[in-house]
């Protein structure tokens, strides 16, 4: 059990650091009140988890520890629902109802499409 926890923890650490760096870079590139950094990172994370689970179903990711490292660890650390919720609350408090609607709606809709797309891509690779 300790080995599994270390595998997941390492993945979470790498995912969290990657999220911080990617989100900061994206947000600094697109200076706006719209939270582009978290938006893009969460969509990329959705795509990656679709890929990882798709490869897992095909047997290309048969090592359980690697699967946990990539999905629970890395993707769990890379994506962030709490920041998404906090940013939506900030948009509402600021009266940015358009950005709130756009961010919340597109995050859920495109997140599902990204996950499906990642999974579907494993069928044609």
Phi and psi torsions of 33, nearest 5° = -75, -15
Enumerate residues 6+ apart whose C-beta is below 8 A from 99. 33, 34, 91
| Distance linking the first and last C-alpha atoms of the chain | 34
Nearest C-alpha neighbor of 42 from the set 87, 97, 95, 89: 87
pTM of the model: 0.94
Nearest C-alpha neighbor of 112 from the set 58, 50, 56: 50
- Per-domain boundaries in the chain: 2-124
CB 110 within 8 A of CB 38: no
CA 53 – CA 10 distance, rounded (Å): 19
- Structure confidence by residue, pLDDT tens digits, 1-52: 999 999 999 999 999 999 999 999 999 999 898 999 999 999 999 999 999 9
- Structure confidence by residue, pLDDT tens digits, 41-83: 999 999 999 999 999 998 888 899 999 999 999 999 999 999 9
């Amino acid at each position: 059990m300790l080995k599994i926890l270390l595998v997941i923890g390492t993945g979470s650490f790498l995912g969290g650091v990657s999220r911080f760096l990617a989100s900061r870079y994206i947000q600094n590139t697109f200076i706006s009140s719209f939270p582009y950094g978290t938006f893009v990172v969460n969509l990329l994370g959705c795509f990656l988890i679709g890929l990882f689970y798709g490869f897992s179903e095909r047997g290309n990711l048969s090592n359980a520890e690697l699967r946990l490292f990539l999905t629970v660890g890395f993707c769990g650390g890379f994506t962030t629902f709490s920041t998404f919720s906090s940013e939506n609350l900030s948009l509402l408090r600021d009266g940015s109802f358009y950005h709130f609607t756009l961010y919340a709606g597109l995050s859920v809709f495109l997140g599902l499409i990204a996950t499906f797309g990642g999974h579907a891509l494993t069928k044609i690779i």
